[in-house]
Structure 1
């Protein structure tokens, strides 16, 4: 740890992390069982040292900087870049760490994950067993991938949505799965896909 990060300040950073959006100075003081004035002094110092973001308002939650997250070893190490064309040197030391998977995917309040079952969307890299990040929405733009409630069934599907007059066409990204068409008034959009989390299996040659 850097010398300016005393055990007390390191503990405070960990408390702020654990409290998330509830990490106000008052709440941190309660959890740390010290006075609010003492916490305020540490917060000022941690901001000056670059471990806490500048305040967005008097009652705004305390927010760790990327530097603080890296010191606390939060997130996944990022080891530079990898070439998909001409080979480049693979770095051995991480340049940084991701703040969190939420930050990496740009998660907002209300977003949720769904586990994919089936192979109808493999053409865009969504494989069976992957997780897709969905943002709630009742409408989507033409061509966006959405979670759609199938008319007459209590099931939802992940499909690309096209609008054609008063008809909605649901398109798979796998030629083995035919497109589906329904009257627009019968289709319920539950959200749009904004990200994917999954492991791409490696394949050796037979």
Structure 2
């Protein structure tokens, strides 16, 4: 008889999802056995069935257990991705998910050491960074010209999010809002703390300029 997704195996998938979320990496079969209170032999038997069913794969040199997209849909892990949405000519919105992302960390490409900052002010609205949004920052002492950086303002002890350019011995910080003037400082007084790699638009809905 071919293997099937029993209630116990579904619970094992949920446990795997939880261990992955809490540990930040795919757990081992031993981790799953400890968390489930089952013997190594029992876990091995059910993992073999789950692999045959396409719910579990092994990842990395240490054989961490990773849920497939099929498994993530089964246990409700991750965020469903419902096809595409048009920003130009309209397209039909699908009603069933194509696949899921394992986590927001995976979707945004977050690495160990990255952190979030809540945005205050409207100086970067031109690139869609609104007050109340969060930006994902990757620590860095230097950024490329034109990248959006977290920078300590000389003499103020405060940080700002701006697009950074170097001109000789000067650093120019540019806003993405014409209401905010550029700022220029001696390069040796500017401390870069990181660069923006992603944005989470969690602020309340806004109305575009020019609309009532």
What is the TM-score normalised by the length of structure 2?
Answer: 0.87
Q: Equivalences for 1:138-149 in 2 at 5 Å?
A: 138-149=141-152
Q: Equivalences for 1:1-206 in 2 at 5 Å?
A: 4-20=4-20, 21=25, 23-57=27-61, 59-199=62-202, 201-203=205-207, 205-206=211-212
Change (3 A) 1:114 1:52: same
| Backbone CA RMSD of aligned residues | 1.9
Q: Bigger shift: 94-103 or 136-145?
A: 94-103
Question: Which aligned runs of 4 or more in structure 1 are off by greater than 4 angstroms?
Answer: none
1:202: how far off? Answer: 4.6
Q: Is the Cα contact below 8 Å between 2:17 and 2:77 reproduced in 1? A: no
Secondary structure of the residue aligned to 1:30 is helix
Partners of 1:188 and 1:176 in 2: how far apart?
24
Change (3 A) 1:55 1:121: closer
Secondary structure of the residue aligned to 2:56 is coil
Q: Bigger shift: 77-86 or 159-168?
A: 77-86
| Structure 1 unaligned regions, length at least 5 | none
1:94: how far off? Answer: 2.5
1:113: how far off? Answer: 0.9
Partners of 2:78 and 2:11 in 1: how far apart?
18
Change (3 A) 1:184 1:9: same
Per-residue displacement from partner, 1:104-163 (whole Å, max 9, x unpaired)?
111111111110000000011100110101111111111000111111222111000101
Higher strand share: 2
Secondary structure of the residue aligned to 1:63 is strand
Partners of 1:116 and 1:127 in 2: how far apart?
7
Partners of 1:202 and 1:95 in 2: how far apart?
29
What is the TM-score normalised by the length of structure 1?
Answer: 0.90
| Structure 2 unaligned regions, length at least 5 | none
Partners of 1:91 and 1:17 in 2: how far apart?
26
1:181: how far off? Answer: 1.4
1:27: how far off? Answer: 1.6
